[in-house]
Amino acid sequence: TLDSVATATYNALNFSDNGAQYPLTWTVKSKATLKIDKVFSTKTEVTKGQSGLPLSVYISNTGEADCILEYVYPNWEVGIYTLTYIGPATGTTVIPGKGSIVATFSVSISARSESGSDTIGATASATNILSGELVEITSAEIPHIWIIQNPASLVLTEVIASSTVYRGQKNNAVIL
């Protein structure tokens, strides 16, 4: 609370005011601070060439000041991906103080991606609404892991059939 006391002297007269008629009350808030709680997908085993894979990035503002989401990007170690950002909107979405949001992506895996385990983290940035300060985070508390595999392929190795067949014959067994 901001209050005031004023005193003045004019022509040997003393004047004073011992309190503001309308004192001001301020709330001091801690600055916005981002935290990427986790990166998550419902899939753990994925295939080269696969598309439409869901990926979510859980972002918290652990400070008290609100902030505006500027960007969020997943990052990875070995995979080659194409990302489609679904939302929420960057530049306008407010992450409230002590609040959180979930950013969602649709991911396609390149057929040229390496096989193996890939750890997926994220990077995010926001602007503190009160100070205009840019706040960033470049790692996730809990990253997600995808096992990237080659697509399945069926190879026919042997056909076994009767050695003699006749025209019009039906329902002969063929074993593949």
Please write the tens of the pLDDT for every residue from 124-167.
Answer: 999 999 999 999 999 999 999 999 999 988 777 776 766 677 77
Per-residue pLDDT at 168 exceeds 90: no
Please write the tens of the pLDDT for every residue from 54-108.
Answer: 999 999 999 999 999 999 999 998 889 999 999 999 999 999 999 999 999 999 9
Per-residue pLDDT at 109 exceeds 60: yes
Letter for the amino acid at 99? G
CA distance 8 to 22: 20
pLDDT score recorded for residue 13: 85
CA distance 84 to 72: 12
Per-residue pLDDT at 175 exceeds 70: no
Q: Please tell me what DSSP assigns to residue 63.
A: S
- 116-128/67-76 β-pairing: antiparallel
Q: Is 79 exposed, middle or buried (0-12, 13-18, 19+ CB in 10 A)?
A: buried
Residues of the chain with pLDDT > 90, as a percent, come to 68
Please write the tens of the pLDDT for every residue from 23-54.
Answer: 778 888 999 999 999 999 999 999 999 999 99
